[in-house]
Amino acid sequence: MTIKLLNVTKKYGTEFALNNVDLELVPGKIYGLLGPNGSGKSTTLKLITGLVYPNKGSVTVQGESVTRKISRKVAYLTELDMFYDSFTVDKMIAFYASQFPDFNVEKAKLLLIEMKLTGSKKIRQLSKGNRGRLKLVLTLAREAPIILLDEPFSGLDPLVRESIVKSLLTFIDFEKQTVIIATHEIDEIEAILDEVIAIYNGDIIGAENVETIREEQGYSVLEWFKAKMQQQEMI
């Protein structure tokens, strides 16, 4: 499903989170939305999920204006830790299955094995790393056409990050799903990205195909991003 942001401005009080942004994301790709903290990455994802609305401009998915009803088409992994701590892992999976018709319980069970999580364990007993893994299980077990991951590696150790990248490659249907990963941990995901979008202070400062960056420009994605940032700081 094609996602379009057209002339989108979003303000919180007097501060601009996004400033007159145009963006088009097409199906079947993994996008990296790259930028430092506070650059507008999370706001962009929240606009696509219908959690916030633009002050100006439009956000559409497959031509449909985004409202909260878009949640039936969008699986969103928030940076926040939002669990019922008294639930077991299995009960949390059952809860998600009751809320989302596209939730695939069998896929969730396979993800639990992949992530080395125990279904009978209470969520309050999970380490931060395992809570991060559970968030990914709950997101990837949905068969929604749009998958949004907001800082999925935040605070997690390298082994957990490696398992997350592996799960992305294993459990995403690249023919049917569009994935957007908002992160400043660029090295972790460079190998799996198709397109990258650099955002800084609410502005899109660059968008490029990853193969073009590597083969034609001779940069890694991190080098490309740093160059874009340096150009902005010189303006």
Interval 44-56: pLDDT, tens: 999 999 999 999 9
Domain boundaries, the chain: 3-234
Span 170-187, pLDDT tens digits: 888 888 899 999 988 888
> What does the alpha-carbon distance between residue 103 and residue 182 come to, in Å, rounded to a whole number?
23
Q: How confident is the model at residue 235 (pLDDT cuts 50, 70, 90)?
A: low
The pLDDT tens digits of the residues spanning 194-215 come to 999 999 999 999 999 999 999 9
Tell me which architecture the domain covering 3-234 has in CATH: 3-Layer(aba) Sandwich (3.40)
Question: How is the chain classified by DSSP, letter by letter?
Answer: --EEEEEEEEEETTEEEEEEEEEEE-TT-EEEEE--TTSSHHHHHHHHHTSS--SEEEEEETTEEP-GGGGGTEEEE-SS----TTSBHHHHHHHHHHH-TTB-HHHHHHHHHHTT--TTSBGGGS-HHHHHHHHHHHHHTB--SEEEEESTTTT--HHHHHHHHHHHHHH--TTT-EEEEEES-HHHHGGG-SEEEEEETTEEEEEEEHHIIIIIS---HHHHHHHHHHHHHH-
The pTM of the full predicted model, rounded to 2 decimals, is: 0.91
Q: Look at residue 37 in the predicted model and tell me its pLDDT.
A: 87
